[in-house]
Structure 1
Amino acid sequence: MPDQADPIVRIPAGAVRGTRDAAGELYRAIPYAAAPTGAARFAPPAPHPGWSGVRDGTQASPTAPQPVRDFGRLDMTPYFGPGWVRGEEYLTVDVRTPAADGAKRPVLVFVHGGGFVTGSNRAALYDGRAFARDGVVLVTVNYRLGIPGFLDLEGAPANRGMLDVLAALAWVRDNISAFGGDPDAVTVAGQSAGATLVGALLASPQAKGLFRRAIVQSGSGTGAFTPEQAGRVTAAAAAALDVAPTAAAFAQVPDERLVEVLPALAGLDLRTATATDPLVGLSPFSLVLPEQPVDALAEGPAGEVDLLIGTTTEEGHLYLVPQGKYETSTEQDVLDLAATVHADPQALLDRHRRARPGASAGVLRSAVLGEALFGAGTARMTDAHARLSGGRTHAYAFGHRSTALDGRLGATHTVELPYVFDIADEPWLHGDRGLLGPDPAPAGLAARVHGAWVAFASTGDPGWARHDPQRPVVELLGG
């Protein structure tokens, strides 16, 4: 029998039972859309039919179909979560709140990363207890990934994973007041692929009115594929599955096969006459848009919302150090990478050398990779939003270096997340293979970073000066 003391929230779809602890209340696996099964995997998210009785919100939901990802010597389990936990109803949210008491608290909706192919709100990093402790309602979102989420197919809407996030934001607008949140004080935040999704929401007319603020952590305003690039991925997927490149044909393929075929899509050359591969071969999936989000901000809500945006200072290390490629990098490796991301690779390399006199090939390779994946697109988005919004932009760089992997991991991609969620002291994040390394987290850094996110979600001001393209302000957090 369930504990009758467990809290119950009633929303239009039905009643949900959660759990209560010292941080507040937690309601898990609440569907914001109908289960995406069969042909519905390639359709827009549909309204959930609701339920009778009291739904069990004490257990985590299934996750989107996804492959296992390996980062060599580094334990990335806290980031990726348990992988594919099978079950049909995975278009769900978890809600962590101080109390479902009708109060109007700021709301933070978090969209996970994972290269558009992996991840879920079950990942240990997205523990919302500190946000609830500090008066913020945290909502974490699952969305479709991989082929069901992002493969461009005839007969299917594009960017179905982003449509899922839009549906989740509409659910928040319509339901969050029952959980003690203010639907007029919603901040949508994302990291990595999730941040690229948030950047696209800023340029999406469909997103108007769904959020007041946005946080873009290590994403890119220039991370979308062109239709030509997406077409190459579609052709490769259809060939690997031996089916027509249509939604009707793909709807006949089971999820297991859609996951199994993903390695066949790795390493595709997506460079075209007009575009480089914005993901530098790290994922065959991204948003598919006629123009980059940074060039379309005026079409969406961007000018009306506050933006907190930034990167880590050594983003590229994650893709080199755990795999043993950092120390073995050569000048030719750096030049080859530069050639894939820039029309004048030697000029690009010379610019990075001037900025880092005496740097090793590994340092330069990481710098080129980090700029191509996140840095350049973030810088453009920062300036474009500041101009459009009249100065409602705050920029940051996270610089504290993890001592993982013999001290080499550094201030790499994802390393700010334990500080944002104020869980940097958790032992499972430490040790030589842990994301934060064997050393303890520096005193006060988690309080500072987490406090900035809470302040921004509450007021639009994280605690430092606004960014002005004429007088740039980028707050260094750690480092």
Structure 2
Amino acid sequence: MHRRHVLTGLTALSAATLVTPVSAKGRTPRVVTCSGPVEGFVKGGISTFLGIRYGTAARFQPPVAPPVSKAVYKADRYGPSSPQGGKADIGISEDCLFLNVWTPNARPNRKRPVMFYIHGGAYNGGSGSDPLYDGTNLSAHGDVVVVTVNHRLNVFGYLYLARFERLLSGTPGPLRYSGNCGQMDLHLALEWVRDNISGFGGDPDNVMVFGQSGGGAKIATMMATPAAKGLFHKCATMSGQQVTASGPGNASLRTEAFLKTLGLKPDADGLAAVQTLPMQALVDALKTTDTVIGKGSVYMGPVLDETILFRHPFYPDAPAQSHHIPMIIGNTKDETRAFLGGNPKNFELNWDDLPAKLPPEYRVDIDPYLVIDTYGKLYPTMSPSDVFFAATTAGRSWRGAIIEAEERAKSGATTFVYQENWPTPKDGGKLGAPHTVDIPLVFRNTAVDSAITTNSADAQAMANLFSDAFIAFARTGSPQTVALPEWKPYTLPGRETMLMDLKPELALDPRGEERKLFEKVPFIQQGT
């Protein structure tokens, strides 16, 4: 089936974002891939290929490479994204295995570093076609090949049906991969890069994967997945950790609750029905309350299924499989201001509010009075709202980043850590350095309307710092640039961390007392 046949779900907004091909000096870039010739267009001096199919997949089944075709594939518009809730402004389809490539020159006479980006949105939403991820500026500035990707999300990528299938049949069946299909899509996309990227001027032996939030978590999971071994050579995670995956028991509880919302049971009839129900019925059932967490919509993510994933990503230690891969682990200083800053009341808290407000948001089981007292001693000038945002950041996303960095340091694996400290001027600066602020900086897309950074002179200066560091890392395995002080790898007990700001600084164990406060209790990954 031709790609355009699956784009019927595109809305007027998404249609407006489609790009008409423009040739450079009369030439339209064309590359012959393993599946056949693809033809792109030139934008901003960069050869651009959008919506290249890298695979096909039946529901809850592993993806397969597309068939070979002699017909020229017009790679001039984004492919549809995975089905998801709350995203009526983009085209969605279960047929969503498409990727995009930006390159300074689509010819195999150069071996440029490949920067393969995996979008955020947890495992529930998002798309590689977001304007913030447009690779034009990054490719042009760094002389690199940029790739973004769509893959199956939520129930389409991670609904764990294997246990119920085996209870019924006694043996593993065709649904045994269902809990990790979304990860398998990413593996196939990286195999496509391995087999085809040289034709786009990229080096298949120098592939850096990088991703923010859920994208970083997917990378952490791949670092411990045997099927992903050898598919990338460097990695960077931006506010995205996966210390532990979902256990098969919890995943089964979620599947049972999801099926119940659909009016199904985890029996033979139910398993047959969920494979054939209309796509929208499954999307609507994503509102199912998570039975493990006890609130919020049902979580779907990688499962310790003993078929694709055989260990937790960073528990009980850093995976030996990826010990040799240089890694960047980053976070932002005020992560939760992005999630919790949309409620004006959170900027008007008093001290009496905090004992009840803090625990649900920092997500670890620690006495809130101890947390409040400790922050009061560490930072006497902090307001109750300041403590709320700082403590929820420290106990939640930052904690996972520390665990990963420490486990890597224990094993001697080369790891560079950063903390994004620069506060965005957006909304009068009240958001500080929130979750997602580093995305437009790395991609040099601060001028995009949705960029949380704004396009101020300071934002552009930070984009230079960030993008140059990531480009250097993609090229050499070190993020060191002339604009940064010496960036030493993370060690214990040094905990070397680059504080990314207009005046960057390498710090030892920044916010160390906050780290010590929260490390006294176990960290439980949301979703586990």
The TM-score with structure 2 as length reference comes to 0.79
- Indicate if the aligned counterparts of 2:329 and 2:405 stay in contact, CA closer than 8 A: yes
Letter in 1 for 2:444: D
* Cα drift, residue 438 of structure 1: 8.3
The alignment partner of 2:330 has SS state of strand
**2:332 counterpart of 1:315:** no
- Indicate if the aligned counterparts of 1:223 and 1:287 stay in contact, CA closer than 8 A: no
Change (3 A) 1:308 1:58: same
How many residues are paired up? 448
Aligned to 2:171: none
* Cα drift, residue 253 of structure 1: 1.6
**2:406 counterpart of 1:383:** yes
1:236-315, aligned counterparts within 5 Å? 236-245=257-266, 247-265=271-289, 268=290, 270-271=292-293, 281=296, 284-289=299-304, 292-295=312-315, 299=319, 301-315=321-335
Residue identity over aligned pairs, in percent, reads: 31
Letter in 2 for 1:257: A
Aligned to 1:215: 236
The alignment partner of 1:95 has SS state of strand
Q: What CA distance in whole angstroms lies between the structure 2 residues aligned with 1:344 and 1:122?
A: 42
Q: 1:332 is matched with which residue: 355, 362, 371?
A: 355
Q: What CA distance in whole angstroms lies between the structure 1 residues aligned with 2:264 and 2:298?
A: 22
**2:63 counterpart of 1:45:** yes
Structure of higher RCO (CA pairs closer than 8 Å, 6+ residues apart): 1
* Cα drift, residue 352 of structure 1: 4.2
Aligned to 2:489: 466
Q: What CA distance in whole angstroms lies between the structure 1 residues aligned with 2:428 and 2:422?
A: 16
* Cα drift, residue 160 of structure 1: 1.4
**2:20 counterpart of 1:5:** no
Residue by residue over 1:378-397, the C-alpha shift from the partner in whole angstroms, topping out at 9 and shown as x without a partner, is 11111212332x34110000
Q: What CA distance in whole angstroms lies between the structure 2 residues aligned with 1:315 and 1:57?
A: 36
Letter in 2 for 1:305: I
- Indicate if the aligned counterparts of 1:391 and 1:466 stay in contact, CA closer than 8 A: no
Q: What CA distance in whole angstroms lies between the structure 1 residues aligned with 2:409 and 2:430?
A: 35
Aligned to 1:226: 247
1:138-177, aligned counterparts within 5 Å? 138-154=146-162, 155-157=175-177, 158-177=179-198
Q: What CA distance in whole angstroms lies between the structure 2 residues aligned with 1:311 and 1:58?
A: 34
* Cα drift, residue 176 of structure 1: 0.8
The alignment partner of 1:47 has SS state of coil
Residue by residue over 1:7-42, the C-alpha shift from the partner in whole angstroms, topping out at 9 and shown as x without a partner, is 1100110000001133321111111111x3xxx120
Q: What CA distance in whole angstroms lies between the structure 2 residues aligned with 1:211 and 1:23?
A: 27
Residue by residue over 1:222-261, the C-alpha shift from the partner in whole angstroms, topping out at 9 and shown as x without a partner, is 2532333323321221111012336533112211111112
Aligned to 1:204: 225
Of 104-113 and 85-94, more deviation after overlay is shown by 85-94
* Cα drift, residue 354 of structure 1: 4.0
* Cα drift, residue 115 of structure 1: 1.9
- Indicate if the aligned counterparts of 2:244 and 2:312 stay in contact, CA closer than 8 A: yes
Aligned to 1:448: 465
Of 93-102 and 297-306, more deviation after overlay is shown by 297-306
Aligned to 1:76: none
The alignment partner of 1:295 has SS state of coil
The alignment partner of 2:59 has SS state of helix
1:179-194, aligned counterparts within 5 Å? 179-194=200-215
- Indicate if the aligned counterparts of 2:197 and 2:204 stay in contact, CA closer than 8 A: yes
**2:40 counterpart of 1:33:** no
Residue by residue over 1:303-359, the C-alpha shift from the partner in whole angstroms, topping out at 9 and shown as x without a partner, is 010001110000011111113342244213334426842254444444444443343
Note the residue ranges of structure 2 that are not aligned, 5 or more in a row.
Answer: 1-19, 163-174, 305-309, 481-486, 503-528
Letter in 2 for 1:316: T
The alignment partner of 2:31 has SS state of strand
Q: What CA distance in whole angstroms lies between the structure 2 residues aligned with 1:106 and 1:342?
A: 43
Q: What CA distance in whole angstroms lies between the structure 1 residues aligned with 2:130 and 2:153?
A: 15
1:113-128, aligned counterparts within 5 Å? 113-128=120-135
The alignment partner of 1:444 has SS state of helix
- Indicate if the aligned counterparts of 2:418 and 2:498 stay in contact, CA closer than 8 A: yes
Change (3 A) 1:452 1:14: same
The alignment partner of 1:215 has SS state of strand
Change (3 A) 1:441 1:474: same
Change (3 A) 1:323 1:263: farther
Residue by residue over 1:87-134, the C-alpha shift from the partner in whole angstroms, topping out at 9 and shown as x without a partner, is 453201101111111111110110000121111111011011122211
Q: What CA distance in whole angstroms lies between the structure 2 residues aligned with 1:298 and 1:61?
A: 35
- Indicate if the aligned counterparts of 1:402 and 1:437 stay in contact, CA closer than 8 A: yes
Change (3 A) 1:335 1:135: closer
Residue by residue over 1:391-441, the C-alpha shift from the partner in whole angstroms, topping out at 9 and shown as x without a partner, is 4110000111123334312211001111111122x1614xxxx62258554
**2:116 counterpart of 1:109:** yes
Change (3 A) 1:252 1:349: farther
Change (3 A) 1:339 1:21: closer
Task: Pick the structure with greater CA Rg.
Answer: 2
Letter in 1 for 2:211: G
The alignment partner of 1:428 has SS state of coil
**2:86 counterpart of 1:64:** no
Letter in 2 for 1:224: A
The alignment partner of 1:315 has SS state of coil
Q: What CA distance in whole angstroms lies between the structure 2 residues aligned with 1:217 and 1:335?
A: 24
Q: 1:90 is matched with which residue: 88, 96, 107?
A: 96
- Indicate if the aligned counterparts of 1:223 and 1:286 stay in contact, CA closer than 8 A: no
Note the residue ranges of structure 1 that are not aligned, 5 or more in a row.
Answer: 70-81, 272-276
Aligned to 1:397: 419
